[in-house]
A and B are shown apart, each in its own frame.
Chain A
Amino acid sequence: MGVSISLNINGEARSLDNVEPRLLLVDLIREELGLTGTNIGCDTSQCGACTVHMDGLAVKSCTVLAVQADGSDVVTIEGMAEDGQLTAMQQAFWDEHGLQCGYCTPGMIMAGVKLVEGNPDISDEEIRHGLEGNICRCTGYQNIVKAMKVAAQAAA
């Protein structure tokens, strides 16, 4: 039995009918809305590749049912850059080479934006602690941490 839901995705109001209650938010985003920037990594709420913003909070969209997001504001990586202009966090990942394969990057950026918000002088330790829920298996975090520090300053 499907459910009708509406949500605001990257600033655009969308309504969907006949949503299966068991549909995960990440599958709604990828399969129904076609926004494939959000990745599925571990699918067990540990790796953070599927991190999106829901009503202003970073959440793991593999562990949220789409029906729970009904009425919410959801922002994905596609909602970050405006008019082709990268955000400070995206630019810092580019400049500091905060990625190798790039699979974790959308989740890192979505988590990072919330992590540094209102904290321009964030320390390495705070960043590493705040990234407990995001796993990268190739850069070794050095440049990710560096990028987040640069982005924190740039956003201030």
Chain B
Amino acid sequence: MYPPNFNYVRAGSVAEALSLIASEDDAKFLAGGHSLVPAMKLRLDAPGTLIDIGRIDDLRGISYGSGDENDCIGPLTTHSTIASSNLAAALVEAAGGIGDPQVRNRGTIGGNIAHADPASDLPTVLTALGATIRVENPSSARNIEAASFFTGLFETSLEENELITVIAVPREGAGTGSAYAKLFNPASRYAVVGACASVTVNNGVVSRARVAVGGLTPMATRCGSVEAALEGRSTDAINGASAQVASDVGDDILEDIHASAEYRLGVIPVYVERALQAACARAAG
């Protein structure tokens, strides 16, 4: 298989990438290419121009914050780099479970979230962790909360001429922990369902819970009912709180050859519970 024809241009800097996206018709950015190239080979996408941003070193790497500052991840940072980093535990865990070693060596966090596959792990994790995505166009920049960045099936709030330049993730202080648990498709390692939890625990009481799920909904979904059922209670309430997830995910439940909607709804509380248990264990110690 080969992708449809396209024009290829290479950007040497963020400024050049932004000027190219504004001037080229029907253009897309190419990062690691591990979502875009397969989609093009299957003729699911056929951009007229690819702007290769893969060599812009300013967009690569992790800069750790100190104190209350966020950790800042460049969009070209690969899943393998994140999997061996000191970022929030759930993000490290999820990145290490994407695809396989070869895919993690090339796939990038920016490309992953721009693609916004409903079965992808990182949108769920970034939503639960309360990450902020910084995007730039040729004349301005804005910050988007992860929860409003993902807007639908393969859809984001990115405007046509915008480039993701930073993914900012809160640091985990004492008493805070996070975890990601998924039921994966054995061939692709994509999430049939996935759940991420980030919690703060004080003296056995969960004072703050952030939960998101993916794989069963068109986009990563925050679970306010689960959070409300757990906050202010002891970790013994995890099992009951996890069962609340059905009221958070709405009626639009995905269904495909891998699992029925009914199955996904049936199994998701188990993964919410696993994520919460692991997050609480990490918060404790």
Q: Which residues of A does B touch, CB under 8 Å?
A: 1, 3, 20-24, 27, 43-46, 48, 51, 57-60, 63-65, 67-68, 111, 114-115, 130, 132-134
Among all A-B residue pairs, the 7 with the closest Cβ atoms: A133-B100, A21-B8, A132-B100, A57-B105, A22-B3, A60-B102, A133-B102
A126, chain B: closest CB distance, angstroms: 11
B14-22, B34-42, B148-156, B166-174: which one contacts chain A? B34-42
**How far apart are the CA atoms of A130 and B102 in the complex, in Å?**
9
Indicate if the CB atoms of A45 and B105 lie closer than 8 Å: no
Residue B224 at the chain A interface, CB threshold 8 Å:
no
Q: Contacts of B10 on A, CB cut-off 8 Å?
A: 67
Q: Contacts of B38 on A, CB cut-off 8 Å?
A: 44-45, 63
Task: For B54, give its contact among A27, A68, A130, A134 (CB under 8 Å).
Answer: A68
Task: For B99, give its contact among A3, A58, A133 (CB under 8 Å).
Answer: A133
Q: Contacts of A130 on B, CB cut-off 8 Å?
A: 101
**How far apart are the CA atoms of A20 and B100 in the complex, in Å?**
28
Q: Contacts of B101 on A, CB cut-off 8 Å?
A: 58, 111, 114-115, 130, 132-133
Residue B189 at the chain A interface, CB threshold 8 Å:
yes
Q: Contacts of A132 on B, CB cut-off 8 Å?
A: 99-101, 189
Q: Contacts of A114 on B, CB cut-off 8 Å?
A: 101
Residue B175 at the chain A interface, CB threshold 8 Å:
no
Task: For B7, give its contact among A1, A24, A60 (CB under 8 Å).
Answer: A1
CB neighbors of A among B1-39 (8 A)? 1-8, 10, 30, 33-34, 37-38
Assign chain B's interface to a size class: 20 to 34
A110, chain B: closest CB distance, angstroms: 9
**How far apart are the CA atoms of A62 and B99 in the complex, in Å?**
15
Who on chain B is nearest to A24 by CB? B2
Indicate if the CB atoms of B37 and A65 lie closer than 8 Å: yes
Indicate if the CB atoms of B8 and A67 lie closer than 8 Å: yes
Residue B139 at the chain A interface, CB threshold 8 Å:
no
**How far apart are the CA atoms of A63 and B187 in the complex, in Å?**
16
Residue B259 at the chain A interface, CB threshold 8 Å:
no
**How far apart are the CA atoms of A67 and B189 in the complex, in Å?**
28
B31, chain A: closest CB distance, angstroms: 10
Residue B52 at the chain A interface, CB threshold 8 Å:
yes
**How far apart are the CA atoms of A1 and B8 in the complex, in Å?**
8
Q: A22-B3, A63-B106 are in contact. List 11 more A-B contacts (CB 8 A).
A: A21-B5, A44-B1, A44-B41, A58-B105, A60-B103, A63-B103, A64-B37, A67-B8, A68-B33, A114-B101, A133-B100
Indicate if the CB atoms of B7 and A21 lie closer than 8 Å: yes
Task: For B106, give its contact among A22, A48, A64 (CB under 8 Å).
Answer: A64
**How far apart are the CA atoms of A59 and B50 in the complex, in Å?**
21
Indicate if the CB atoms of A43 and B105 lie closer than 8 Å: no
**How far apart are the CA atoms of A65 and B3 in the complex, in Å?**
10
Task: For B6, give its contact among A22, A44, A63, A133 (CB under 8 Å).
Answer: A22
Indicate if the CB atoms of B4 and A22 lie closer than 8 Å: yes
Task: For A48, give its contact among B3, B42, B100 (CB under 8 Å).
Answer: B100
26 contacts between A and B (CB under 8 A): A21-B8, A21-B50, A22-B4, A22-B6, A22-B40, A23-B2, A24-B37, A27-B2, A43-B1, A44-B1, A44-B42, A45-B102, A45-B103, A46-B187, A51-B102, A58-B105, A63-B33, A63-B37, A63-B106, A65-B3, A65-B37, A67-B8, A67-B52, A68-B33, A132-B189, A133-B99
**How far apart are the CA atoms of A22 and B38 in the complex, in Å?**
12
B97, chain A: closest CB distance, angstroms: 10
A137, chain B: closest CB distance, angstroms: 13
**How far apart are the CA atoms of A22 and B50 in the complex, in Å?**
10
B87, chain A: closest CB distance, angstroms: 20
Q: Contacts of B100 on A, CB cut-off 8 Å?
A: 48, 132-134
**How far apart are the CA atoms of A21 and B3 in the complex, in Å?**
9
Residue B188 at the chain A interface, CB threshold 8 Å:
yes
